[in-house]
Amino acid sequence: ASVLVLQGPNLNLLGLREPAVYGATTLQQIHDQLHQVAGQLHIQLETFQSNSEGALVDRIHAAKQNNVQFILINPGAYTHTSVAIRDALAGVAIPFIEVHLSNIYQRESFRHHSFLSDIAVGVICGLGAQGYELALQAAHQRLTQ
Using CB under 6 A as the binding rule, whether residue 7 contacts ligand DQA is answered as no
Among 34, 38, 45, 76, binds ligand DQA (CB under 6 A): 76
Cite the active site residues: 22, 100
In sequence order, the 6+-apart residues with CB closer than 8 A to the CB of 74 are 6, 7, 8, 11, 98, 99, 100, 101, 132
Among 102, 132, 135, 136, binds ligand DQA (CB under 6 A): 102
- How many CB atoms sit inside 10 A of residue 3's CB? 26
Q: Cβ 74 to ligand DQA, closest distance in Å? A: 5
Using CB under 6 A as the binding rule, whether residue 104 contacts ligand DQA is answered as yes
**51 Rama sector, left if φ>0, alpha if ψ -120 to 50, beta otherwise:** alpha
Footprint on this chain of ligand DQA (rule: CB under 6 A): 10, 74, 76-77, 79, 100-102, 104, 111
